[in-house]
Chains A and B, each alone.
Chain A
C-alpha cells in the first residue's frame, strides 16, 4: 500500500491566514478582500508584479500557494514534470464572469476587457501557480457544490499511484465577491520522503478526514 502524506498546508479565510498550523495573520476589523490580499502580498514580499493583474480568485489561490511553498522547496527534490496541481471550488470563475459582464452589458458603452476575459475560466488559477513555480505536471480544476475532500483525495491518490505525478499541490479555492476561503496543501509519497531521509512522523496521511480537519477546522 502506497501512502501519501500531507507535508504542508495553508488556509486564507476571511482576513485570517494559517500556514502549517501557525496563525500568521488575523484582521479583526473588517477590510475588503482587495485590501486584505494586497496587504498580505506586500507583507510577504512576494515581488511578482503580475499578481496585480490577476483576478481575485487567482490572487487568493496564488498567494495561498506562495505561503505554503515558501516552507517547502519542492524544486530541489522533484522535476517540474513530477509536480501536479489539483484545485476545486464551487463558484468556478463566477466572480470574474460578473466583472466581465459589466464591460459588455451596455450596448452604448460596450468595451469588452481582454484582461478580465482571460480570467473567465477558473483553471487559469492553476496556470498562474504553474507559471510562477515552473510546474509542468498533470493538473485539474474541479467544480463541486461543496468542499468535497473525498473527491480531491481520490483524484490525487489516483494520479500519484499511477505515477502520473510524484507530488501534488491540491486544495480548495473558493471566492465570490467578499466571501472567500482557500486551502492548499502539498501531498508527497511516503516512500520518496523516506528515500530522502526525511522524518515523516509529523506528517498526516492524505485522507478525506484529514483534509476536512485541516481545511474546515484549521488543523484542530
Chain B
C-alpha cells in the first residue's frame, strides 16, 4: 500500500501541475480538497481521468468521487480494491 501511495503522490503532482509541491509535502491522510493542497473542481475531473488512464478504473457514479478522492490513502485503497488484473 505504501508503494502505491508514493506512486499516486507522484502522479497527482504531475497530473495537476503542483510544481512547488514535493512527494514529502503530501500527507496521505490529509484532505485533498478545501485546505491542504487546495484542489478545485477541475482537479477533481483530472483525478477521474488519472484513475481511468493509469489504472483502468472508471467511476460510474460521480457522487462516489467525494469518498474516493478524500485523501491519497482513500484513493490508493479504492485502486487496490478495483484495479483490473
Interface residues of A (CB under 8 A from B): 38, 49, 52-53, 111-115, 118
Contacts and interface: CB of A to CB of B under 8 A. Distances in A.
B43 interface: yes
Contact of A115 (B19, B38, B43): B43
Contacts of A112: 49
B85 interface: no
Given A114-B42, A115-B43, A52 B49 contact: no
Interface string B33-49: 00000100011011001
B84 to A, nearest CB: 16
Contacts of B38: 49
A112 B45 CA distance: 10
A49 B49 contact: no
B20 A113 contact: no
Contact of B42 (A38, A52, A118): A118
B17 A113 contact: no
Contacts of A53: 16-17, 42
Interface in B45-62: 45-46, 49, 52-53
B19 A52 contact: yes
A111 B16 contact: no
Nearest to B20: A49
B17 A111 contact: no
Contacts of B30: none
A68 B42 CA distance: 29
25 contacts: A38-B19, A49-B18, A49-B19, A49-B20, A49-B38, A52-B17, A52-B18, A52-B20, A53-B16, A53-B17, A53-B42, A111-B49, A111-B52, A111-B53, A112-B49, A113-B46, A113-B49, A114-B42, A114-B45, A114-B49, A115-B17, A115-B42, A115-B43, A115-B45, A115-B46
A165 B61 CA distance: 45
Contacts of B45: 114-115
A49 B18 CA distance: 8
Nearest to B53: A111
Contacts of B43: 115
List the 6 closest A-B pairs by CB distance, nearest first: A114-B45, A52-B19, A52-B17, A111-B53, A53-B17, A115-B42
